[in-house]
């Protein structure tokens, strides 16, 4: 039996795994201690649980336990990494290299640092969403202290050439930070093999609770330091003060352990579903897949349907299918997605895109229903569109002079 509504916005957040919840429950009631209370058993029990979670999180990314700093999520991690590195290393230089399709948490933190005297280079991307390594190398200067490039993009799922970027950073003795929110727990991420020095990620993208995340900070070759952005008490090796979210950390740890066991199996199934979804939706006339087809996450698909408004499309079926047009974090504005614009898409295509984010619980039935609903809605909206009519009559729409009031 198909249960509506269907949730296909898993890049925004995932449903918590029931096994994760069961694991967390005792830490809300019986084991409610503060992990920093060192002089009684309630505190010790909490501390042991936190350290177990730390071990599970570290294990998923191939790090040492001591390299994991718990945060409230990837946004805080991005801020702590960028601001913390800038403050700690600004005697060495003030130049940061990042990229135009980064998450707003990275872009806005960079804008903030520019006000404090940082110089930031925002690299463009190629039409498929990949960074050009030659351009990256050209951008490096003696003052460069950090390269900040995401592991995988939240809107189009494109995976950047992380190892190659790390090699460049190392060659020039620059730190490499990656926002890996969409990658960790979805594809194999290993900070040692990948050569990453600092990396932010989040629990709620991998079937864990919201409001908890981690920042990996490398301890040797090189030993990385970031200055705290939240002071008080010196928790988390002095990098992030505040009472730890014990239940959240316990859940995050469990979610990481489950991903480590099940990611590969889940992906085989998810990729089949995604490919089925794409093959059917791309049969619709004037529909386009956005981003690199090969270097991308297994569960994400971003498709534009020309001559249809993305918002209108969503209105057509949003009671039954949860999707996003553009990006959830910036959907308060009606601007077309800055990520799609960076790929060189015109406003028309950028505005008409839908992002599909599949999960471990997505079913074939849900995908078939989605294909059917979207196909119907696109056809219906195009029947009402004067642009579609002109296109079908062979009018070259790029030659039309629009009258802007």
The residues annotated with a catalytic role in the active site are 329
DSSP code at position 276 = H
End-to-end CA distance of the chain: 50
pLDDT at 11: 97
d(Cα 128, Cα 126) in Å, to the nearest integer?
5
Number of other CB atoms surrounding residue 96 within 10 Å: 27
The CATH number of the domain covering residues in 6-12+263-392: 3.90.1150.10
- Which backbone phi and psi does 66 adopt, to 5 degrees? -70, -10
- Within 318-358, residue ranges assigned H as helices are 338-342, 347-351
pLDDT in tens, the chain (405 residues): 899 999 999 999 999 999 999 999 999 999 999 999 999 999 999 999 999 999 999 999 999 999 999 999 999 999 999 999 999 999 999 999 999 999 999 999 999 999 999 999 999 999 999 999 999 999 999 999 999 999 999 999 999 999 999 999 999 999 999 999 999 999 999 999 999 999 999 999 999 999 999 999 999 999 999 999 999 999 999 999 999 999 999 999 999 999 999 999 999 999 999 999 999 999 999 999 999 999 999 999 999 999 988 788 888 887 899 998 853 444 445 678 999 999 999 988 998 999 999 999 999 999 999 999 999 999 999 999 888 999 999 998 777 766 655
Residue limits of CATH 3.40.640.10 in the chain? 18-258
CATH fold for domain 18-258:
3.40.640
Cβ distance 370 to 8 under 8 Å? yes
What are the residue ranges of CATH 3.90.1150.10 in the chain? 6-12+263-392
Q: How far apart are CA 160 and CA 154, in angstroms?
A: 12
pLDDT on residue 158: 98
Question: Which helix (H) or strand (E) segment is 58 a member of?
Answer: helix 41-61
Tell me which residue has tokens 């195009």.
382
6-7/321-322 β-pairing: parallel
In this structure, what are the phi and psi dihedrals at residue 150, rounded to the nearest 5 degrees? -65, 155
Q: What pairing do the DSSP bridges indicate for beta strands 175-179 and 144-148?
A: parallel
| Residues linked to residue 304 through DSSP beta bridges, in sequence order | 288, 353
Q: What is the pLDDT of residue 316?
A: 84
Q: Strand 198-202 relative to strand 213-217: parallel, antiparallel, unpaired? A: antiparallel
User: Whole-prediction pTM value?
Assistant: 0.95
Gap between the Cα atoms of 269 and 236, Å rounded: 38
Q: Find the angle CA(314)-CA(320)-CA(321) to the nearest 5 degrees.
A: 55
**CA atoms of 58 and 53, how far apart (whole Å):** 9
**Is residue 205 within 8 Å of residue 182, measured between CB atoms?**
yes
């Amino acid at each position: 039996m198909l249960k509506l509504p269907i949730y296909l916005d898993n890049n925004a957040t995932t449903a918590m795994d029931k096994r994760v919840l069961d694991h967390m429950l005792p830490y809300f009631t019986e084991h409610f201690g503060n992990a920093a209370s060192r002089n009684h058993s309630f505190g010790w029990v909490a501390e042991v649980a936190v350290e177990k979670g730390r071990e599970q999180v570290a294990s998923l990314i191939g790090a040492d336990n001591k390299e994991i700093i718990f945060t409230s999520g990837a946004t805080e991690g991005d801020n702590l990494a960028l601001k913390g590195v800038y403050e700690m290393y600004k005697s060495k230089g003030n130049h940061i290299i990042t990229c135009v399709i980064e998450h707003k948490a990275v872009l806005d933190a960079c804008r903030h640092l520019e006000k404090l005297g940082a110089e930031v280079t925002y690299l463009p991307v190629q039409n498929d969403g990949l960074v050009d390594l030659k351009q990256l190398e050209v951008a490096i200067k003696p003052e460069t202290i950090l390269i900040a490039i995401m592991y995988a993009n939240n809107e189009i799922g494109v995976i950047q050439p992380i190892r190659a970027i790390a090699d460049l950073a190392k060659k020039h003795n620059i730190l490499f930070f990656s926002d890996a929110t969409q990658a960790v727990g979805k594809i194999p991420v290993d900070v040692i093999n990948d050569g990453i020095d600092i990396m932010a990620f989040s629990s709620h993208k991998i079937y864990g609770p919201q409001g908890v995340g981690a920042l990996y900070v490398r301890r040797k070759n090189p030993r990385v330091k970031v200055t705290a952005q939240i002071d008080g008490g010196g928790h988390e090796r002095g990098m992030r003060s505040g009472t730890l979210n014990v239940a959240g950390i316990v859940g995050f740890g469990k979610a990481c352990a489950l991903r480590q066991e099940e990611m590969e199996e889940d992906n085989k199934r998810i990729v089949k579903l995604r490919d089925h979804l794409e093959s059917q939706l791309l049969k619709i006339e004037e529909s386009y897949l956005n981003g690199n087809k090969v270097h991308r996450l297994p569960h994400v698909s971003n498709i534009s349907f020309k001559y249809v408004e993305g918002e209108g499309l969503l209105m057509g079926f949003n009671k039954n299918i949860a999707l996003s047009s553009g990006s959830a974090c910036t959907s308060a504005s009606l601007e077309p997605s800055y990520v799609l614009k960076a790929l060189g898409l015109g406003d028309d295509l950028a505005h008409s895109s839908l992002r599909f984010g599949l999960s471990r619980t997505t079913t074939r039935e849900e995908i078939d229903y989605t294909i059917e609903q979207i196909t119907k809605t696109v056809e219906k909206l195009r029947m009402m569109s004067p642009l579609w009519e002109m296109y079908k009559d062979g009018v070259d729409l790029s030659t039309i002079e629009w009258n802007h009031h």
